């Protein structure tokens, strides 16, 4: 199934900096058992972005799609998002 992921979480952000992303990641393909996919909703998914060693400015970074509710689903393909670090 295909989802839009709007919850973006940041890890590895240097102390004193803040990060923001203005747009959701669209057309995220998720695979897994049909019984799980039938119950899965966009608000259950999040994108995790690693900002280790990323300086202030605007960057396009890769995102890993995750879900706390189910551990037997996975993303298909690679996804990125624009992040502004201040």
pTM comes to: 0.90
Cα–Cα nearest to 43, from 4, 14, 17, 16: 4
pLDDT at 44: 98
pLDDT less than 70: residues of the chain = none
d(CA 10, CA 45): 14
* pLDDT score at 77: 97
pLDDT at 39: 97
- Cβ distance 59 to 19 under 8 Å? no
């Amino acid at each position: 199934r295909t989802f839009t992921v709007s919850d973006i979480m940041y890890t590895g952000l240097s102390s004193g900096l803040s990060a923001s992303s203005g747009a959701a990641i669209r057309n995220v393909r998720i695979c897994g058992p049909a019984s799980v996919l039938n119950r899965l909703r966009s608000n259950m998914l999040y994108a995790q972005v690693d900002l280790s060693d990323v300086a202030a400015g605007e960057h396009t970074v890769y995102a890993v799609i995750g879900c706390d509710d189910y551990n037997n689903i996975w993303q298909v393909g690679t996804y990125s998002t624009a992040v502004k670090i201040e």
